[in-house]
Amino acid sequence: MTQDHIVTERPPATRNDTAGNATARTYEVRTLGCLMNAHDSERMAGLLEDAGYIKADPGAPADLVVFNTCAVRENADNKLYGSLAHLAPIKASRPGMQIAVGGCLAQKDRHIVLDRAPWVDVVFGTHNIGSLPVLLERSRHNQDAQVEILESLRTFPSALPAARDSAYAAWVSISVGCNNSCTFCIVPSLRGKEADRRPGDILAEVQALVEQGVLEVTLLGQNVNSYGVNFADPDPSTGEAPLPRDRGAFAQLLRACGRIEGLERIRFTSPHPAEFTDDVILAMAETPAVCPHLHMPLQSGSDQILKAMRRSYRRDRYLGIIDKVRAAIPDAAITTDIIVGFPGETEHDFEQTLDVVQKARFTSAFTFQYSPRPGTPAADMPDQIPKNVVQQRFERLVALQERISLEGNRSLVGTRQELLVVAGEGRKNATTARISGRARDGRLVHFRPDSADGSVRPGDLVDVEITDAAPHHLIADGPLLQHRRTPAGDASERGQTPTTRGVGLGLPRITVAQAQTPSSAGHPDTACR
């Protein structure tokens, strides 16, 4: 049986209910890992919905559970296999239920997944997301597990349909893969070399999202400010590059996005300090829609450790970028990633990291305890740090950063902030009736939603005055200073999210006729090619 000719006795995305009637199969996608994975999960959901599946209600058992996995940290392995073990008896009691495992861990472990969890039906990698519906049907038809891992990208993921999670904010991939060789990171071996998406395709997707009400986009890449590097790849026939590399491509992309009418907020993640150029800082400062927020991984403040990590910059270079950003954008929030306990890290090296944290005054930091990942050079390095030492250093770093974060947040008490109201990023407090929003600089703010204009919905914009601060959030307990109802808020109220549709790799479209449901009705069919 080939992928082009799938033989089935009934439409593949259906199951028989207790009365013997064919009904659409339900799905759930569980995401482990980074923002890139979260965006890939939207692509998986879009493919499944194109194939006739419908999203399972929260808490309801699904006919299909897809895990989109991470291979960067050890606890991601534990989460996956723990979840698979939990599903084993459920699957045994539900004939026809399927489980699929994709993403970075699947790309790395391949057949190990089936060795540890033989009840899994499909294993697929980072390069063939578009194969998921076909692999599921092949597994159903053959009554056998399907493992398909490709070594290179078949098509850019954004050519695939996406079922978006949010009515007001969206991720847009500008590149996949990475050309760096950090010794602690396995991502380049799993996602491949950097492949950049053409700017016209990116802008078309952003435009389509804005036309459906989206107010904020986040441009995604493993190293966004190297964007454009493979536009100058050598011609295979001549060996010559068609064009010299344009190191200003990412800054130009930011400015072009900023010219799209109706797009109010632009974010990006993550830049690499070695590739950071002054024109990006100017584009941030001169493009009103670009948010005053820079997330730039530090990893270590020690030049010796940065060298061992193969991070092609040093502490002075990093601090120099921050100085330039703050000179151009005084109110910029700067956040970072830091690894504690890298092999060979001495007390002096760690104190160098604390020193950079003191000087940089980060708004917040994602701090990680180093864990060796098989297949990375760092895993085989000598002088692995004892866990108790790593834990102690981690606690010292967190304490310092929390103090700095609190001081920075307290400096905003009394200021006016515009918030994009968000769902799912803070619990509504029964006593205070607070809900949450994100300021333009990315800070989380809990506020009281009293408004003369009616109820405040996710996707609306409100202005508030900050009344209190904590290390990880701000509080605004006064009256709303302004409330702007938006098309994104209207869509949230209707339970609608935007869709972007593409060409699914030339694979067969496996669909079933079904009536529109409230969750799918009214979604514009946009094409981004």
What are the C-alpha distances in Å from 281 to residues 175, 202, 301, 323? 20, 21, 22, 11
At a CB cut-off of 8 Å and minimum separation 6, what does 168 contact? 213, 214, 215, 216, 420, 422, 458, 459, 486, 488, 489, 491, 492
Length of the chain equals 529
At a CB cut-off of 8 Å and minimum separation 6, what does 402 contact? 471
User: Are residues 162 and 46 in contact, defined by beta-carbon separation less than 8 angstroms?
Assistant: yes
26-31 and 169-173 beta bridge pairing: unpaired
Torsion-angle region of residue 306: left (phi > 0), alpha (psi -120 to 50) or beta? alpha
- Of 179, 153, 264, 173, the C-alpha closest to 218 is 173
Distance of CA 71 to the CA centre of its chain: 15
Q: Which value, to the nearest 10 degrees, does the dihedral of the CA atoms of residues 508, 511, 516, 522 take?
A: 0
Annotated ligand binding at 178? The verdict is: yes
- Of 457, 508, 482, the C-alpha closest to 7 is 508
User: Are residues 145 and 193 in contact, defined by beta-carbon separation less than 8 angstroms?
Assistant: no
User: Are residues 368 and 70 in contact, defined by beta-carbon separation less than 8 angstroms?
Assistant: no
User: Are residues 178 and 187 in contact, defined by beta-carbon separation less than 8 angstroms?
Assistant: yes
- Of 158, 167, 133, the C-alpha closest to 6 is 133
How many Å apart are CA 45 and CA 157, to the nearest integer?
Answer: 12
How many Å apart are CA 167 and CA 218, to the nearest integer?
Answer: 14
Alpha-carbon torsion (210, 216, 222, 224), positive or negative = positive
Peptide bond preceding 270 in cis form (omega within 30 of 0)? yes
User: Are residues 119 and 91 in contact, defined by beta-carbon separation less than 8 angstroms?
Assistant: yes
143, two tokens: 């009554």
At residue 452, φ and ψ (nearest 5 deg) are -70, -15
Annotated ligand binding at 291? The verdict is: no
In 192-222, which positions are buried (b, 16+ CB within 10 angstroms) versus exposed (e)?
A: bebbbbebebbbbbbbbbbebbbbbbbbbbb
What are the C-alpha distances in Å from 379 to residues 3, 110, 186, 360? 39, 20, 11, 29
Residue with tokens 């939207």: 42
Q: Which residues does the annotation place in the binding site for [4Fe-4S] cluster? A: 34, 70, 104, 178, 182, 185
Please report, in range form, the residues annotated as the binding site.
Answer: 34, 70, 104, 178, 182, 185
